[in-house]
Each structure stands twice: as C-alpha cells, then as structure tokens.
Amino acid sequence: MAITIYTNEDIKPGAIAGQRIAIIGYGSQGRAHAQNLKDSGHDVVAGVRHGGTGWKHATADGVPTAEPAEAVKGADIIAILTPDMVQGDVYRDIIEPNAKEGSALLFAHGFSIIYERITPRPDMDVILVAPKGPGDLVRREFQRGRGVPSLFAIEKDVTGKARDRAMGYAKGNGGATGGLLETTFREETETDLFGEQAVLCGGAKELVMQGFNTLVEAGYQPEIAYFECLHELKLIVDLFYEGGISKMHHFISETAKYGAVASGPRVVNEETKARMKTILDEIQDGTFARNWIAENEAGKPQYEAWLKADRESQIEQVGARLRERMAWLNTPKSEAA
C-alpha cells in the first residue's frame, strides 16, 4: 500500500495557533525554520547567545531573540536544531530545567533519541519534523510559495497534541506544501544515516575518487579524469533528481546507456550490497553511533585525519585548479535565478 502524502488541506486549521516556538540552534536548518514559521504567522523566538553569530543572523532576519534558557521558558514547542553531538548538553543544561510542563521537544533528526543521548522529561511530547533538503533550499522554496517535502514522526504523545504540533509545525515550515510523509524516529534516523554513508556522501565520494584514480593510474591525464568522473556527475544526478532512472536513460546516448546497463552491475554488485548491509547492521545495532560518539569525545583524531586525506587527494588539487575557470560556479544566486 502506498504511503499517504499529506498536504496543507489535511492539517487541522490552527493546529499550533497561539503556541510559542523556540528555535534552539540558528544554523542552516534553524535559520530557515525560524524565518518560515515567523512568515507563516507563528510566534517564534530564536534561542541564541547575545552577540554571537546566531544572534547577528536572527537580528538581521527580523526574528525575535532571547538567550537560549529564556527562549525555552514559556515555549510550547522547543525545536532543538543544534548538531547531534551537542544536543545532549543543550537538553541537560538549557531545556530540561527551563521547559514548561507539557511542552513538545522537536527534532529534525532522530539520532539523539534513538541512541539515547537525550531522555526527555516524562511530561514532554517528543516529535520530529525533517525537511528533505538543506536549510537554504527549505527557505528558498518557501519564499517561492512552494515547499520541500518533509517527514514527521511522533515518538511520545503525552498531551494528546503531539500529532497536531508536528503537522502544524511542518505546515508552517512549508513541508506540507511540498508533501508531508509520516515515519518513525527509528526509520528516519537509520535510513538517513545509511543513505549518507552508503550512497550519497560516502559511497558516491569513493566511487568518484576510485574512478579518477583508475584512469590516472592507467596513464590518462588527471584533468580529463576529473571531468569524466566528477564534473559530469552533476549532469547525471540532475537527471535522476528530475525524473528518476528513466529520465537519465532517456537523455544519454545509446552507447552510454548500453555501457551503463552492461557494466554498472560489474562495479556495484552483490558484494557491494553485502557491504552496504553490514553498514546498515552497524547503524541498527548502535555500533556506528558508539564509534562516532567515542571519536567525538576523543577529540576526533581519526575523523580529522580522514578529512585531511580527502582534502589533500589529487582529485581535489586538480579540481580546485579547474574550477577556477568555471565562472558560473561563483555566480550569485540572484543573478543565476
């Protein structure tokens, strides 16, 4: 059975009318959520340190501000949109001692709940609203009268208002305009982590780098290898994004199409899938979370070493030089629109 996609018409009118929303964390998502919800007519306050970067951005955006603890006091919905690794401290030091009884704790990613970084007070609703796009896109699409599809989930409904709160928040953020899908905290968290690691960020990056290395080691010019293995990837991803695999097949040459169906499964095959399953197992059983938490607590030495190796790789050096000639990459969004 197909999943239900909720729209604005499916959400109770005034679902969160009169409820104060505190946005804790004014980064990419926090900034977009705060502005969208404010523009939708909701009572929004950004919990930011006076004089800090978040305070400066919120003030420029016309979003009311308060010190984080003050923002939490009296709020009906508290959106914790800080990075995963600091959420436990933010909850313990700022939210738990100041949140009023019966308020809702809202997340955009379920990591802190699924891996027990946070144990919310028994009186609090626990909900999730996760736009499927970066904050900049969430804001731009809202301003265009559209919206980015979003997920929502209810982990705990103490007040009987949790579902209305999650769906009302999503509507105010543009998510129901883009299409709102219901999930669970566990499903959102595990699929998100898997997608990032096995396909979108980890898998795609390694596929590009190993393709580049294969050509260079065979004697081909690094600049040509860069164009074939990284630069042109955007053209294919755009086709995937716009119309799925079928649109990609429709717009590439017959030779490219034959090579894709004949050789693609030789690169990414059952052995690859088995390794993906191992990655998923480690996400599901908590191994990944434990490793990442331990790495973070140790000061992230291995993490920094891996990032340094990527930054210093040949493909990055070649790419930086070639991108200097691509004037369109530096075109302001206002001119490119």
Distance CA 261, CA 266 (A): 9
Distance CA 63, CA 60 (A): 8
Query: Which DSSP helix (H) or strand (E) runs through 182?
Result: strand 180-182
Summarize the annotated binding site for substrate as residue ranges: 253
Give a three-class secondary structure readout of 107-172.
ECCCHHHHCCCCCCCCCCEEEEEEECCCHHHHHHHHHCCCCCCEEEEEEECCCCCHHHHHHHHHHH
For the record, the structure tokens of 328 come out as 């369109």
Beta-bridged to residue 156, according to DSSP, are 126
For the record, the structure tokens of 336 come out as 């490119």
User: Which 3 state secondary structure label does DSSP give 21?
Assistant: strand
User: Which 3 state secondary structure label does DSSP give 27?
Assistant: coil
Which of 33, 109, 231, 249 is catalytic? The answer is 109
Phi and psi torsions of 190, nearest 5°: -70, -40
Distance CA 64, CA 34 (A): 9
Q: Is 109 among the catalytic positions?
A: yes
Sign (positive/negative) of CA torsion 67, 73, 78, 83? positive
Provide the annotated active-site residues: 109
